[in-house]
Structure formats: structure tokens, C-alpha cells
Chains A and B, each alone.
Chain A
Amino acid sequence: MKKIITLIGFALLMSSCSNDGDTKNITISFENKIAGDRINLGTGNYQNTSNESYSIDELKYIISNIQLVKENGEVFTYPQDNSYFLINESEPESQIIVLNNVPAQDFQTLKFGIGIDQTNYPLNGVDNFVPTAEENQMLWSWSAGYIFFKIEGDFSIENESHQDNFLFHIGSHGTNLDNYKTVELSATQFDLDLTRKDLIAIETDISKLFNAVHDIRINDKSDIQVDPVNAPKIAENASQMFSLKPTHSTN
């Protein structure tokens, strides 16, 4: 009798483990690079395709709404409430995010958003991201809105010694201007087989911010914030920065 109860209890426990099979905690790392090297805040000097050189003092962005998709189309959505992350170049810990209880399966695509999806704002727990965003100055206090992507630094035009500041703060404000972007990374070159590994490495090529879909000449507008013309261009470029990198499998 006792044995049966234990067995039933056991079966119940098993079924309470949502998916078919195991789950595991996985890690996603973000490396912000330019020309293959980690960027150096303050000291690194970089060139864009518009003959400008620039340095970066601050670089932060919000990653959200993480999903993993299998080849057969099955989607695993990471719990909405916990699916907001702030990547801050000056804080190495922030560049490694841990997802708990992810099905240990072979996935085909990784999807995520840059910023906060308007349909979720401020619902589904996104308000609970306010303290993190606030500590990192990723809130527009006057508009109750999030800054999705922030980069600040200095730039100069080629052959000119004069340096100036630049500052891009990209987000959505009001309901008219939506700069939320989604990214899809497919396991073509490198797999997303979570039966074999528990680390996904992502490289963020910051130089693409200045030339991917649009060419951005910093000197044309060096302060871009609430800007219905330029902010969407930066956001589109930002959505092109991410790529998967090889990682070793654990078994």
C-alpha cells in the first residue's frame, strides 16, 4: 500500500515537470565587439564607414522575450516575468544571463527582443524591471518609458582634431513610435543543441550600429533620442548586430 502511494506520488512529481523530458539551466553570454575584439570603454578608438573615428564611454541595452524554436516549429517561451535583461558593457556580470528550467532539446532558432515590447508594457511583470532599469539610467523619467539601447562617447571627423560628444538613446515613447526590434538567430553555422550543451555564446558587433541597414554619420546628428527619423534607423541597425558563436558541448 505504502509503496503504491509512493509510486503515485512519484508519478505526480514527474508529471509536474512540465515538458517531455529534462530541463536544465542554460547560460547566454553577450560579447560586445568591434572588428573581432572586445570593445574597450573610454580607451578604444574605432572607425566607421563614414570616415569618422569614435570612442565609447557607455554601452547598454535591454534583451527581452527570449524564445527557442525547434525544427518542427515548437516554441519554448521563457517565462515573460523573468525575461528582461540588461546588458551593460561596464559590468561583466551583466553580460552573462542565466535561464532556468529550459528544455534540454535540440533547437533551431533563438529569438529575442531588443527593448520592451509595447503590447507587454507595462503588463506581465515588466514593471518589475523598473528598479534594474532605473539603477542603470535606462528609464526616461519624464515619459515612464524604457531606453532600449544606449551608447555614448566621443567622435571626430577624419583629419580634424576637434572632438565632440555623441549620444544615442533609443526607445519607444508614447504609442506612436515603436523602436522595439526582434532578433532571430538560426543554428546554421553553430548549433543550439541543448541536449549537448548549456552555453549559448552571442557576439554583438557594435560597428554595425553605424552601418548595417542604414549608414549613420554621427556628425549628421550626434544627439539622437526622441527622434522619429533617426532613432528607428539606429534601432534597425542594432537588430543586425547579433550573431551566434561556437561553444563547446558539455558531453
Chain B
Amino acid sequence: MAVKDPPWIMRTYSGHSTPQASNALYRENLARGQTGLSVAFDLPTQTGYDADHPLARGEVGRTGVPVGHIADLSALFDGIDLGRMNTSMTINATAAWLLALYVAVAEAQGVPSRALRGTTQNDIVKEYLSRGTYVFPPAPSLRLTVDTILFTVEHVPDWNPINISSYHLQEAGATPAQEVAYSLATAITVLDEVRARGVEGAAFAKVFGRLSFFVNAGMRFVEEACKLRAFGELWERLGKERYGVADEKLRRFRYGVQVNSLGLTEAQPENNLVRIALEMLGVTLSKNARARAVQLPAWNEALGLPRPWDQQLSLRTQQLLAYETDLLEYGDLFDGSPVIAAKTREIAEAAWAEVEDVIERGGAVGAVESGYVKERLVASNARRIAAIESGEQVVVGVNRFTETAESPLTAGGAADAILRLDPAAEREQVEALARFRRARDADSVARALDALRAAARGRDNLVPVSIAAARVRVTTGEWASALREVFGEYRAPTGVAGARAPELGSGYEPLRERVAELEKRIGRRPKILVGKPGLDGHSNGAEQIALRARDAGFEVVYEGIRVTPRELARAAADEGVHVLGLSILSGAHVELTRDVLAELRARGVTIPVVVGGIIPEADRVLLCAEGVAAVYTPKDFQIAKILAELCEIVERSAT
């Protein structure tokens, strides 16, 4: 038998409802052969709100596990030895806090911080650009990131304090070169900040060695393999040339991956399983650019949250590749291939040019604040979507080969093929939080929060004060609220107004004529408010609808993510829009739409409301019964058709 390379770490991104329910899920997953944990937190935890905060309503435990305090995190890892586990936490704005809780829980388990292994994602730049769970402005956010890095390098040496994420950039439409470029620009911004804090020489090299990446891999798997080779080469060069890191081992490009989910379809969803398998090839085939850890989405990604069985199927897909095929028996399959070398060079050159461009524009932070990078991403996504709409980019089952036999997987309706959450979970979590608050010493909490605020105003590292706060039972919301007081909050540019949208095909002429005709009838150009209520950060759909509507001739008001139902109703009223279009992908569409409709009624606004997003059929029926004019989901991929319908809806209501 040939000697095999050890396989990568296999994880599944999961968590929901309560820490207890998620703990049960983790134990099952480990029993099925998963070799690490990947924690999905709910949106209140990610944006620093307690379960009983008004903005958390309907979101608690919905798309991830709620962790409000030390007891929650302790319950989440109950029976799991943190000294042996490798835990990846997708946490960013509140990363320093979750790390603090993790250290405090380990301490209670008797595990010293030095023994901990795992990852905090902790990349705030891509939150502004794509993922949306930012809280503070860029400067204090960057400080929190660097505090976490410096703390772990010293006290948790095997921790990956930041997982610079190109994954989410591709999910927001980035091309391979953009994905590489913008995440390298982020790394440079972070490393420069570390250096500005006076870290030098061997200490700096150690920091460099702890930076890791979280990348994406799509269907064009040959190109993706080359992208990762290019990524590695550029990283190695950056370490050597810009930062003078001498130790080759510390310059190694280390990355984990989640394969592309943006391309996973609602139509013929079983095809997604095959897509996932093919996408995995891009990050595993080339030994010299192989992922350290892989997590795969599930076949029903575009329908809703996966059930344990769906996740198991994805885990089995990894296991099949690692254990049944001969992949791990060989050296690098691509070394020496001129085709691969040329493609790799092409991506590396394009990416590096873009890195330099971003540096010139003030680095990752400057290019975020000016909206430049976001505009580029929105434009790339617009091109991608236009290519799918026109059929130039084939998506099997969507714009080609759409004939299908009935699938037994969704025979009971797509709503039966996803995880159903326990509606009582939010209430339970809120009650548990109240009990937790009652059973703590209020004075020590107040003192810990004072110390946190004081440290935030000064220059001390914020992780030790956060650990102290975790121990005396401060909550996630309290921690974030204290820092909000000191740092303030931020709204990132939407990138929509400045995005250079692709020229639209002739298919748009009839639509523009329709809009012009509508204008004559209603006296003004049709005006739409595109709104994203709730904590949901999925902005792709809203952005693309806004952009397209403008290019079809609509006047469009769009304020970005996390606008409250009341603010939306107010904007709809003041702006005199003809239609309000909500975009909700987090699953909280029923509650949020109801809230918006109530706010509109309270203001006497009688315009039609449409809703788009991940909305199961049963909920569509429900929302329409409650007064929503139309519901759109990913299978409505032809935006021109959606806009033509909006014209009808506006005309019906305005005349």
C-alpha cells in the first residue's frame, strides 16, 4: 500500500436554535467522522446583540447558534474536550469576545489557553464588502483584529487568529483575480497595522506565520486550482519581499475552504451535490496548493437550512475523495504543466496589479471607505448575472436542460426538504438569558464593563479585559454595547450607485419602453424603495435588483443592509415611492414582512409590497394572503421579467 498523505480537516458549518441543540448536533457530526468543528453563530451574536434585544427578534438561533454568555458557550462544548478539538468560529465584529469566552470556557474545563487550537475568522474588511456583520467603524475594528492577533500569538500559539476570507468575496461576485487581490490587500493592511504597533523581527515573522486564509472554489475547478497556486506564490513573495520573513515555513500559504454556494441552484437542487464534488477538486487535486480544511455546503443550499442528513451527505462526499480514491497517494499532479503554469501566472499578475491599485487608494480600509472595492464587486456580480440571464454562462437546470423528471428528494415539497426550526427556541433562549442575568454579581459586571470601556478609550489590548468580563458573566450584548459607546457604529458604502454595470442586451429595450410608457401614465418615473430589514446581510439580490431597475429606467432608493421596518416605512412614505421591494434571505421573512406591513399601515401608506429571497412556497402563500403583491426566489433568475412584473404591479396600484 502506498503511503498516503493525511487528509485535510473535515468540517461542516453548523449550529442553530440553542447551544444545547447545537451541542447534540456537533456530537453527532463528530461521531460520523467529522474531524473538526465549524461554528455558525446566529446574527444577533455576530452583530453584538443579546437575545432579548428588539433587533434580535425573530433572528435568535435562526441561522446559527446563539451565544450570549459563558454558560451558552460552555453548553455548546459540553462533553467536547477543547484541549483536543480544532474549532473554527465564523465570527468577526465580535471575534475578540468569542475568543475570550472560548478561553474562559477552556479554563473552566481545566484546559490552558496554550493548548487550544482553532480559528477565529476575524476579518472585518470582507464584512464591509460582502458579509455584512460589521459593527464598528474600520479603525477600531482593525484595532480589535490586531489585539486578537497579538494576544493569541503570545498566549494561544496554535490559534489562527484571523482567517482572511476571500470566500465571501466570490460569493458577492468577485472574479478569481479580485478574490486573491482584495484578500491580500486585507492581509497587507492588517500586517502593516501590526508593524505600526512596534512588532518587529522574529515576533513579526511569527505573526505572519499565523495568518491563514479562507477561500472559495467554484465550478471552473482548473482555474480555481491555479488561483490557489497563484495565491500561495504571491503570499510567499509578500512575506519575503515586503515583510522580510526569512523562515520559509512561516511563509507557507495556509488555507481552509468552503466551496462555492452562490452557484448552487433552487431548480433541480440535487444537481448541487455533483457541483459540490466537482468544486472540491479545485482545492484538493494540487498537493502543493491543497486545503488544510474543507467544509462543503449541502445539496439543498438554495432551499433553506440543511438537515443533519444533508450535511452528512456532504461529509461523505469529502470522505469518498479522501479515503476511496487514490488522490492522497501522489505528489503534486500539476507541477511542470505549462498549461497550469501559464494560467497561474495570468491570475497572479492580474491580482497583483489590483493589489497595487488598492494600496494606492489607501489600502483595504481606504478602498472600503471610498466604496471603490465594493463597486467593483457589485459590477462583477452584475456581469455574472447578466451572463446567466443571456445564457452565455450555462447553469444546468436553470438556463439549459431545464426539463426534469419529478425528484423524489423534494416530492413532499421543497419545504419538507429543509431543517425546520423549533419556534420555541427563541423564547427559551431569552428566558435562559434572564435567568443567567439574575444569577450573577451586578457589581462585578459593572466593574468589568467599566474596565472594558476604559481600555477601549486607551491603548491596552482588549482581549484580557474581555476574558475578565467573560468570567464575571458579562453578556455578548453588554460587551458590544460598551464598545459601541466608545467606538461608534458604521454603515458601509453600498457600492450600487458607483458600480459600472454591464451594457444590457437588446432584451432590455422592450422593458425600457414599458417603463417610459408607464411614466406617461403615472406622471413620474416609477420609483422603488429596495429595502433590507432585519439583521440579514445578504445584499447581492437587493444590489442587483437596484442596479437593474435603474438601468431599466426606474428611480431607485436603496439604503443598504440592516434598516428597521419602521425606517423603511418612513422612507417609503417620504420618498413617494410606487412600490416597496423587500429582500430577505435570513429566513426571518414572515416576521419582518409583517412588521413592515404594519408600519406602512400605521402611516397610511398604501403602496404595493413585494418580497424576494429564500422563501419557501408555504410562506409565499402566507405572505400573499397577508397583502404582499408578489414573492420572488432564486429560481426567478431573469431580472428583466421581475421588473416587467413590477411595472404591472405599479400600474395596477397607481391608476
A and B co-occur in one complex: no
Q: Hey, which bits of chain B sit against chain A, CB under 8 A? A: none
